[in-house]
Structures are given as C-alpha cells and as structure tokens.
C-alpha cells in the first residue's frame, strides 16, 4: 500500500543526423563573435598571403626651379602618369611634390583619377632643390602602410646641389627605390650668378658701383651676350661679352649716383641679344634684382683733446675713410668747442684721448647715448682720471687708475684674449683674418669695470683691453690706450687695425647692413626690415612681383611668437622680383621696395649620380614609433583602415542563408512524396 508503481520509459540515444547543417550553424555563431570583436591585421605578413601583389607606391615629383629647364617638367609629368596607369586595382598610391620643402598632395589612394587631377594643376616652382624632406615624407607613408610591397618612385633631374649626403634616412625593409631621371645628360645654362654693390662715399654726390658675375655652364660657348644694368627701369649701362664653355666673366658697370630714395636695379642677360651659338634653357636666372638703399653713410663726430696735435686722429680717419659699406663721413671738433647741436644727425661719437665734455655738452652726450647713440672712447696719454669724474662721465665710462701701466721694459704687452663671438671681433674669427697677438702695447690705463660692464678683450696681464657698457638704448666701448703709434704699434698692423676701427664704429652706431636683396623662400617680418619703424597695428599693403595685393599688419612680437596675428606680419617671398610695401601715418605716405632672387644654387645643373643617392639610404625594420614621427599608426587607425568585421558579417549572412536553405531542404515536411 506504500509502494507506487512507476512505469518504465526507455529512450534511445539521439545522434546528429545532419552534420553539414550543424557545422554551418557553428561557423555562423563563431563568425558573429569574431565580427563583434572587430579584428584587424597588425602586421603585413598575413596581408601578404591574402594579396601578395598589392603595393604602396609613393610618387615623389620634383617641382624645383631647375625643373623649368626646357622639356623637364613635361617629361616628369608624363612619367608620373605612366606610373599611375600601371597601378593594379589592389595598389595604393600617394603623390608628393618637393623643392626645398615637401608637400603631400594625395595620400594613399586606390583611385588613379585623383592623382591625375592633382597633376593637372601643379607646375615648377621658384624654389631650390632638397631631397631629404621628400624622402622623409615617403618614409612616413611607407611605415604607415599595411601593404606588403613598398615602392618609392623619385622623378627628378638629380640636381647635385639638392642632396646632403650627411643626412641619413632609413626606409622600411624591402622598400624599392625607383628613380626616373629627366635630366638630358648634357645641360647648359647662362646666368647672372651674383651682384656686388660697392659704395663710393668720397664722391659728391655719393655713387655706387655694380659688379656682376656671368656664368656659362655648358659645353658650347656663348657669344655676344648683352648684359645690361637698369636703374629705376632705365638701362644705364651695358656690356657685350663672349664666354667660353663652362666659364665665367666679371663685369663692372659705370658708377651710378645714390638717390635720397631707395633705387630698384637689375642686371639682366638681354634675351634679345645675338645668341646664334647658344640657347638658354633656364631663363629664370637671367636677371638679378637688387635695391640701393640711401643712408648707408654713417656720420661720425670725432672729438679731440684741446691740446692735441692735428695728426692725433690721422689713423682713425684713414681707417674710416676706406670703408664702403657703410661709408663713414667724419666731422672733427675739439672737446671745448663741442656744442649740444653738434650731435644732431650723428650716428657715432669717437672721444679720442680727451677729457669728457663739460657742462651742457657732457649732458647732451649722455642723453645722446641713452637715446640710442653710441660712443667709442680711447683713453691715452692726454687723458687723465680727473677729467672723467663728473656724473655724466661716470655714466659712460668706468674708473681708471691714476698710474699708467708701463710695459716698455718688457718690449710691450700683447692682447692675450678677445671674444670672437662678439660683433666687434667676429670678423677675426676665421683663419687668416688678422692676428691681434702680433701687436705690442707699451702703455695703457688700468680700467676698473663696474657691474654690468662686459670685458671683450684682455691684455696678457689680465687687465681689460676693451670694455663694453650698455647705457640706456645706446652702446659705449672703452679702449684704455692710444689709437696712434705712441702707446702701441697696433696701427702698423693694418690687417687688424683698419677693420677693428671700422667694426667698433659700426657697433656703437648700432649699424646693421640693409639687405640689397633676399632669396626666394625667405619669410620676412616687417619689423625685421632695416631702418623701418612700424607702429603696432600699422596696416601695410604688399604688392608682389606678379601684381597680387596682400594686406599685412605690423606687430612688435618676438620672432618666436605663434599667435594668429603673426601670420599677417610676414612677407611671403615666393617669386623673384620686386615686392612693394605701402603704408601711411598722420604725416605722410610711404613706399619701400624689397628685392628677391632665385636661389643661385638652382643655376648649377650638375647631375648627381642616382647610385650615389641610393647608396646613402639605409633599410631596416623601421616601425611607426621610430624617428619620433608625429603621425604614428595607432591600432585604432590600423583597424579603421582594414575593417575586416564587415566582411565577417557578410559571411555570417551568407552562412545563415545557406543554413536556412539546407534546413528547409532536409526537414521532413519538405521531403519528396510527403503529404
């Protein structure tokens, strides 16, 4: 009564009857999981198995000025188009142009039409050739690529001046470098290589002389070449010259008068002259542009001791009289005759072996320096410390002892050290530029530098020989001995004395040589132009050589400033010719001209052996993290470019469709003959 009967059930083991259907369903589930995990290939090894013929091709097209040589650019464009047309559907290509900098126009595209369109709108530039920036861009593009085959196609005229063999570049392993040379093999070029301007300040009015160097780079002579000098758009002189093969000639034109305004000048190879035996294939360097700036004569006031001899300043005047850029116009006066008005329009004052001016003249001299003027003080046998005790004198010069250091018994001391990095002595920093140690100094004062004074040179006993003192906006140099033959024999060492006097005078005057021309590729700030003072926010109109107008805004920012306004403070020098600046203030309207020339290195058509360039490149396992690339390939970027999961999802749908069709076919209800 307590036991219940339980019926016995028997079940047979279930087996998989349709293995194919089961495998399809498992594969579909596996692929769904893989698709949502968003996989990508992190190396090119697997990609090489899937698509062994795929290439990453980087086309580097030289568009420097030398590619303007007759026929080169057309040949280069056609070569680039042929490369593009030979690409397979699985290839990707990039296009970059380069001169002294490289610019990426098309990045890694499988569409040939995109690159063809880019080729249609580019042409040769006015810039010089540099290969390193272009190969650097190719390096970065190839490192980023996942394709197994990597190739650089360099289309250029292989200009030798464009390659720096010391600049090493490493490319990814197995990269192929294909060079396409559009150089004709034998190239010829006639150019105005350089122009030298020499001032003649001793003439009235002041004149300048233009000297030009004409170069024929070619195996054929250039006969009866007409070279003209034009000033203010008017031909003022010309020469006819014949140059042999691979030769040069220097031409000097007649002196021309300096104007009160800046003058525009050109030296040109006249293209209309007879050239039966010579054809110039690169005419862009046939003209050299320059400006002749007024005011390149510095006015120097030479103040002498009341008891001095008229020959005391003979050597100083002689050294300044032979200077040409700038020239010096020297006025002489005695210290007791110096008036405040004498300092008007003066650039520099030389106090030669004299006491400091007294009274209002001394105060005016101090104010002159504090306002930006300069003084060179030479303290010799006629000076005495008692004449330098006034407050105005102490502001410009340090104390010096009452006892003169006498080195006659030692046959004189020598200048043992001097700062070759300072503007006064930098001209003596190169070999055979002058030896100060050859001069003997028999007597000199012991200077006692104050805080802030800079000792630029010292005698062998450690006594300061040249002292620099900044005073307000101006500059003062103090020399503790004479500038004649009494206390030293420096004056007999003309190779040192003459440039030393000229350079010290330039320094105290704050002179910086104005540029007669700039080079295409420069970027010139308005505030960097010589002798121009633009108030902050001055609106300046710029007219380029091609007639294009730009609006600039003068700023007083430091050269390293990066805020947006800085971009409107620069003159983009993109073409040779004259750039005209126009601006105005409450008083008047102003115009300034800036000249620009092609980099004359582009005129040298010497060819670089392609094997030499290829030999300097190295190949290795460079990765995206190497060489500090700013555009490194992250896993996210790599996954975004591959997007394998889309293909996996498509395969899932295909498998599910096949599974559905197969299951319907195998189901009992769909079997043949069932009802």
**Packing angle of the helix pair 19-36, 644-666 (nearest 10 deg):** 160
Same domain assignment for residues 470 and 536:
no
Most confident of 45-54, 219-228, 422-431: 219-228
Same domain assignment for residues 397 and 544:
no
Distance CA 437, CA 446 (A): 19
What is the count of structural domains for the chain? 5
What's the average model confidence in pLDDT over 498-527? 87
pTM for the whole structure:
0.68
pLDDT at 46: 45
pLDDT at 385 over 60: yes
In a domain, 675, yes or no: no
Give the neighbor-by-neighbor strand order of the sheet with 222-231.
234-243, 222-231, 263-269, 287-292
- What is the maximum alpha-carbon separation in the chain? 157
Distance CA 324, CA 155 (A): 47
In a domain, 663, yes or no: yes
The phi, psi pair for 315, rounded to 5°, reads: -70, -35
The phi, psi pair for 226, rounded to 5°, reads: -90, 120
Higher pLDDT, 16 or 377: 377
Q: What's 84's domain CATH number?
A: 3.40.50.410
In a domain, 3, yes or no: no
pLDDT interval class at 44 (50, 70, 90):
very low
pLDDT interval class at 31 (50, 70, 90):
confident
What is the Cα Rg of the chain in Å? 39
Other C-beta atoms within 10 Å of 391: how many?
9
What does the H/E/C string look like for 316-371? HHHHHHCCCCCEEEEEEEEHHHCCHHHHCCCCEEEEECCCCCCHHHHHHHHHHHHC
Lookup: tokens for 131: 């290969």
In a domain, 142, yes or no: yes
Q: Which residue has the tokens 């043949």?
A: 672
8-state DSSP, 442: -
Same domain assignment for residues 287 and 306:
no
Distance CA 147, CA 314 (A): 79
pLDDT at 531: 55
Domain boundary among 509, 544, 576: 509
Distance CA 528, CA 520 (A): 17
Same domain assignment for residues 51 and 174:
yes
Other C-beta atoms within 10 Å of 577: how many?
19
* Cis peptide upstream of residue 205 (ω within 30 degrees of 0): yes
pLDDT at 625 over 70: no
Q: How far is CA 412 from CA 141, 183, 443, 559, in A?
A: 68, 64, 8, 47
pLDDT at 296 over 80: no
pLDDT at 622: 44
pLDDT interval class at 468 (50, 70, 90):
very high
pLDDT at 50 over 50: no
In a domain, 12, yes or no: no
Q: How far is CA 421 from CA 133, 428, 465, in A?
A: 32, 9, 16
In a domain, 178, yes or no: yes
Same domain assignment for residues 53 and 133:
yes
pLDDT tens figures, 650-661: 777 777 777 777
What's the average model confidence in pLDDT over 243-253? 93
Q: Which residue has the tokens 């010069």?
A: 397
Domain boundary among 484, 509, 534: 509
Same domain assignment for residues 318 and 357:
yes
Same domain assignment for residues 158 and 303:
no
Same domain assignment for residues 30 and 67:
no
Domain boundary among 509, 533, 549: 509
pLDDT interval class at 34 (50, 70, 90):
confident
pLDDT at 530 over 80: no
Q: Which of 266-270, 309-313, 474-478 shows the lowest mean pLDDT across its residues?
A: 309-313
Q: Which residues of 652-666 are buried (b: 16+ CB within 10 A; e: fewer)?
A: beebbeebeeeeeee
Q: Which residue has the tokens 């190969």?
A: 135
pLDDT tens figures, 387-403: 888 888 889 999 887 78
Q: What sections of 540-642 are H helices per DSSP?
A: 610-616, 635-642
Same domain assignment for residues 224 and 307:
no
pLDDT at 214: 95
Same domain assignment for residues 302 and 291:
no
Q: What is the mean pLDDT of the chain?
A: 82
Q: What SS3 state is found at 661? A: helix
pLDDT at 638: 47
Same domain assignment for residues 200 and 105:
no
Same domain assignment for residues 250 and 175:
no
Query: What residues make up the domain containing 540?
Result: 518-597
pLDDT interval class at 11 (50, 70, 90):
low
pLDDT at 416 over 60: yes
Adjacent-strand bridge partners of 330: 300
Say if residues 482 and 491 touch (Cβ distance below 8 Å).
no
In a domain, 592, yes or no: yes
Q: What's 345's domain CATH number?
A: 3.40.50.880
pLDDT interval class at 203 (50, 70, 90):
low
pLDDT tens figures, 332-371: 999 889 988 889 889 999 999 998 998 899 999 999 999 8
Q: What proportion of the chain, given as a percentage, has pLDDT over 70? A: 84
Say if residues 137 and 106 touch (Cβ distance below 8 Å).
no
């Amino acid at each position: 009564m307590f036991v219940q009967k339980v019926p016995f059930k028997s079940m047979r083991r279930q087996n998989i009857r349709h293995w194919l259907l089961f495998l399809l369903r498992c594969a579909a589930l596996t692929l769904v999981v893989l698709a949502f995990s968003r996989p990508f290939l992190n190396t090119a090894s697997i990609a090489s198995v899937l698509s062994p013929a795929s290439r990453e091709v980087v086309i580097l097209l030289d568009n420097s000025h030398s590619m303007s040589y007759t026929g080169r650019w057309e040949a280069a464009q056609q070569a680039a188009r042929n490369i593009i047309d030979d690409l397979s559907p699985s290839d990707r290509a990039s296009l970059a142009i380069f001169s002294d900098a490289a610019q990426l126009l098309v990045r890694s595209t499988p569409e040939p039409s995109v690159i063809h369109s880019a080729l249609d709108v580019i042409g040769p530039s006015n810039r010089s050739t540099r290969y390193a920036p272009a190969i650097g861009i190719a390096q970065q593009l190839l490192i980023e690529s996942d394709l197994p085959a990597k190739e650089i196609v360099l289309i250029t005229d292989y200009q030798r001046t464009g390659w720096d063999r010391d600049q090493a570049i490493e490319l990814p392993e197995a990269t192929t470098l294909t060079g396409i040379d559009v150089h004709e093999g034998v190239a010829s070029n006639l150019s105005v290589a350089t122009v030298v301007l020499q001032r003649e300040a001793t003439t009235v009015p002041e004149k300048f002389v233009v000297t030009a160097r004409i170069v024929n780079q070619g195996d054929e002579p250039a006969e009866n070449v007409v070279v003209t000098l034009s000033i203010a758009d008017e031909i003022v002189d010309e020469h006819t010259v014949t140059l042999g093969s691979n030769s040069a000639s220097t031409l000097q034109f007649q002196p021309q008068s300096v104007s009160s305004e800046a003058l525009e000048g050109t030296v040109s190879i006249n293209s209309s002259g007879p050239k039966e035996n010579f054809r110039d294939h690169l005419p862009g360097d046939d003209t050299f542009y320059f400006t002749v700036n007024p005011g390149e004569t510095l006015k120097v006031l030479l103040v002498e001791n009341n008891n001095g001899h008229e020959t005391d300043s003979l050597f100083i005047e002689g050294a300044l009289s032979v200077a040409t850029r700038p020239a010096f116009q020297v006025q002489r006066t005695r210290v007791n005759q110096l008036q405040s008005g004498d300092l008007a329009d003066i650039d520099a004052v030389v106090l030669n072996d004299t006491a400091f001016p007294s009274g209002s003249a001394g105060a005016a001299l101090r104010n002159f320096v504090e306002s930006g003027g300069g003084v060179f003080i030479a303290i010799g046998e006629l000076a005495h410390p008692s004449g330098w005790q006034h407050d105005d004198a102490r502001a410009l010069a340090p104390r010096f002892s009452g006892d003169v250091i006498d080195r006659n018994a030692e046959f004189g001391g020598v200048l043992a050290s001097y700062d070759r990095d300072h503007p006064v002595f930098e001209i003596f920093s190169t070999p055979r530029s002058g030896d100060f140690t050859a001069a003997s100094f028999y007597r000199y004062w012991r200077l006692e530098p104050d805080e802030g004074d800079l000792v630029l040179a010292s005698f062998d006993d450690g006594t300061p020989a040249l002292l620099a003192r900044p005073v307000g906006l101006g500059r003062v140099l103090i020399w503790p001995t004479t500038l004649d033959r009494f206390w030293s024999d420096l004056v007999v060492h003309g190779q040192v004395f003459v440039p030393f006097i000229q350079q010290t005078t330039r320094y105290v005057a704050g002179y910086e040589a104005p540029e007669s021309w700039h080079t295409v590729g420069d970027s010139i700030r308005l505030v960097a132009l010589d002798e121009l003072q633009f108030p902050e926010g001055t609106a300046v109109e710029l007219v380029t050589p091609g007639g294009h107008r730009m609006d600039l805004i003068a700023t007083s920012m430091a050269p390293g400033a990066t805020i947006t306004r800085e971009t409107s403070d620069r003159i983009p020098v993109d073409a040779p010719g004259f750039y005209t600046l126009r601006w105005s203030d409450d008083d008047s309207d102003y115009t300034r001209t800036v000249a620009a020339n092609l980099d004359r290195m582009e005129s040298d058509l010497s060819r670089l052996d392609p094997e030499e360039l290829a030999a300097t490149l190295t190949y290795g396992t460079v990765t995206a993290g190497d060489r500090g690339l700013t555009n490194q390939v992250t896993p996210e970027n790599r996954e975004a470019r591959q997007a394998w999961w889309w293909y996996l999802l498509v395969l899932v749908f295909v498998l599910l469709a096949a599974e559905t069709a197969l299951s319907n076919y195998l189901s009992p209800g769909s079997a043949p003959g069932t009802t």
